[in-house]
């Protein structure tokens, strides 16, 4: 099956890659929601929302400060590097990610469509300014903007829409690509998961890379079982020969 996937990608005019939490997990970043995702006595769903931030911004920022410390210790894995290599070789390759950890950036990927935002960016709740901040730990919580307003993480929280410009670009990439490579995503988080049937409906070949079966495994064109860190370097090497 990997040779078939290689041929599809090699012959594609436009390629889209969508990555999920499974890629980050291979760098040692744990899932912050679902089973095992408790921090103190809170679930991610109880903290990552506008309501939680309005109720107790200090608590929410303590959780994000803890997350940032974990992410800062992680390194891009072979999957991140393989994707960056493919992007550099194929300028017609669009990267869409559900991850907020910035590991794709550190691996060398560019023009990344970050559906859920970036944990290393802040947004002012007063003037809406955005800026990068990689300090770990943060010197004061909650952090402030230059205008004096309180900052929040520039991340899409539960109940918030995806950034409209980024989402429309992701939809366009899915609907115009010849191959959609879906890597390390559970395919249950919407609206991101809707890109998969959109790509198929538009005629793209959909290739899934995941160690476990997902809800879309039975409907994709090719399902490669295994870790992204093992499969993607092999794919990239074959494609770029």
Phi, psi of 200 (to 5 degrees): -65, -40
Same domain for 184 and 199, yes or no, is: yes
How far is 80 from 104, CA to CA, in rounded Å?
6
> Is residue 50 situated within a structural domain?
yes
> Is residue 58 situated within a structural domain?
yes
Is residue 35 very low, low, confident or very high in pLDDT (cuts 50, 70, 90)?
A: low
> Residue 67 belongs to what domain range?
44-73+123-155
DSSP secondary structure string, 112-181?
A: -EETTEEEEEEEETTT--EEE---SS-SSSS-B-TTSPBEEEEEPPTT-PPPHHHHHHHHHHHHH-SEEE
At residue 49, the pLDDT reads 95
Same domain for 10 and 87, yes or no, is: yes
Same domain for 101 and 202, yes or no, is: yes
> Is residue 90 situated within a structural domain?
yes
3-state class of 15 per DSSP?
A: strand
Q: Kindly report the pTM of this predicted structure.
A: 0.94
**For the chain, what is the domain count?**
2
> Is residue 35 situated within a structural domain?
no
Same domain for 9 and 128, yes or no, is: no
> Of these residues, 80, 81, 104, 116, which one is catalytic?
116
Domain boundary among 155, 176, 207: 155
Same domain for 172 and 228, yes or no, is: yes
Question: What long-range pairs does 230-233 form, CB within 8 A, spacing at least 24?
Answer: 230/78, 231/2, 232/78, 232/79, 232/82, 232/83, 232/183, 233/78, 233/79, 233/81, 233/82
Same domain for 180 and 233, yes or no, is: yes
Same domain for 110 and 206, yes or no, is: yes
Active site residue 116: yes
Q: What is the pLDDT of residues 126-174, one digit of tens each?
A: 999 999 999 999 999 999 999 999 999 999 999 999 999 999 999 999 9
128: domain CATH number?
3.30.1600.10
What share of the chain in percent tops pLDDT 70? 98
Sequence-separated (6 or more) residues with CB below 8 Å from residue 164: none
């Amino acid at each position: 099956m990997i040779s078939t996937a290689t041929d599809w990608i090699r012959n594609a005019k436009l390629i889209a890659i969508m990555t999920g939490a499974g890629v980050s997990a291979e760098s040692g970043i744990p899932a912050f929601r679902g089973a095992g995702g408790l921090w103190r006595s809170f679930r991610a769903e109880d903290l990552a929302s506008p309501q939680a931030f309005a109720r107790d911004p200090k608590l929410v920022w303590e959780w994000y400060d803890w997350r940032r410390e974990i992410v800062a210790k992680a390194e891009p894995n072979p999957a991140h590097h393989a994707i960056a290599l493919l992007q550099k070789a194929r300028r017609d390759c669009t990267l869409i990610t559900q991850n907020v950890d910035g590991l794709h950036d550190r691996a060398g990927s560019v023009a990344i469509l970050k559906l859920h935002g970036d944990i290393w960016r802040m947004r002012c709740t007063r003037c809406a300014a955005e800026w990068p901040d990689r300090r770990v730990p943060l010197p004061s919580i909650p952090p402030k903007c230059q205008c004096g307003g309180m900052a929040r993480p520039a991340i899409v929280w539960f109940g918030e829409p995806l950034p409209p410009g980024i989402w429309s670009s992701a939809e366009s990439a899915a609907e115009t690509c010849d191959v959609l490579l879906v890597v390390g995503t559970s395919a249950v988080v919407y609206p991101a998961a809707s890109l998969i049937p959109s790509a198929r409906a538009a005629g793209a070949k959909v290739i899934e890379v995941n160690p476990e079966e997902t809800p879309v495994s039975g409907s994709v064109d090719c399902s490669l079982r295994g870790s992204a860190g093992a499969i993607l370097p092999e794919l990239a090497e074959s494609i770029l020969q």
